[in-house]
Amino acid sequence: MSEPAHTLKARVAAISVFASAGMAAAKFVVGIAIGSLALISEALHSSVDVVATIITWMVVRVSDRPADEEHHYGHGKFESISALGVIALLYVLAGGILVESWSRLREGAPPPTISAIPFVVLLIDIAVNFWRARALHRTAHDTKSQALAADALHFASDVLGSIAVIVGLALSALGYAWGDAAAAIAVAVMIALLGLRMARSTVETLLDRAPEGASEKATAAIRSVPGVVGVERLRVRMVGATHFIDAIVEVPRTFPIDRVEEIKRKAQAAVEKALDDADLTFTAVPVARDNESVRERIMVIARNSGLAIHHVTVHDLGDKLTVSIDLEVDGEMALNAAHDIAQELERNIRDEFGEDVEVDTHIEPLEPGLPHGTDAAADRVETIKSALSRYAADTAIHDIHNVRVRDTDAGEIVNFHCRAAPSMSVIKVHENVDAIERALRRAFPTVKRVISHAEPPDA
Work out the pLDDT band at 143, boundaries 50, 70, 90: low
Work out the pLDDT band at 324, boundaries 50, 70, 90: very high
Work out the pLDDT band at 237, boundaries 50, 70, 90: confident
Q: What is the pLDDT of residue 280?
A: 92
Q: Would you say residue 212 has pLDDT above 70?
A: yes
Q: Would you say residue 61 has pLDDT above 90?
A: no
> How many Cβ atoms are within 10 Å of 68's Cβ, its own excluded?
9
Which residue type does 171 have? L
- Better pLDDT: 221 or 87: 221
- Better pLDDT: 127 or 113: 127
Best CA proximity match to 400, nearest among 379, 383, 385: 385
Q: Would you say residue 232 has pLDDT above 60?
A: yes
| Mean per-residue pLDDT, 300-316 | 88
Q: What is the pLDDT of residue 1?
A: 39
For the four alpha carbons of 156, 161, 162 and 163, in that order, the dihedral sign comes to positive
- Better pLDDT: 256 or 224: 224
For the four alpha carbons of 274, 275, 281 and 285, in that order, the dihedral sign comes to negative
Domains defined along the chain, listed by start: 5-206 (1.20.1510.10), 214-287 (3.30.70.1350), 294-365 (3.30.70.1350), 373-455 (3.30.70.1350)
Q: What is the pLDDT of residue 4?
A: 56
Q: Would you say residue 10 has pLDDT above 80?
A: no
pTM over 0.85: no
pLDDT in tens, 428-440: 999 999 999 999 9
- Better pLDDT: 318 or 220: 220
Work out the pLDDT band at 69, boundaries 50, 70, 90: low
| Mean per-residue pLDDT, 351-373 | 83
Q: What is the pLDDT of residue 9?
A: 56
Highest mean pLDDT among 14-18, 44-48, 330-334: 330-334
pLDDT in tens, 17-32: 777 677 778 888 888 8
Q: What is the pLDDT of residue 109?
A: 63
The answer to whether residues 396 and 421 touch, using CB atoms and an 8 Å cutoff, is yes
The overall average pLDDT reported for the chain is 82
Highest mean pLDDT among 3-12, 60-69, 337-346: 337-346
- Better pLDDT: 305 or 43: 305
Q: What is the pLDDT of residue 458?
A: 81
Min mean pLDDT across 106-110, 215-219, 249-253 is at: 106-110
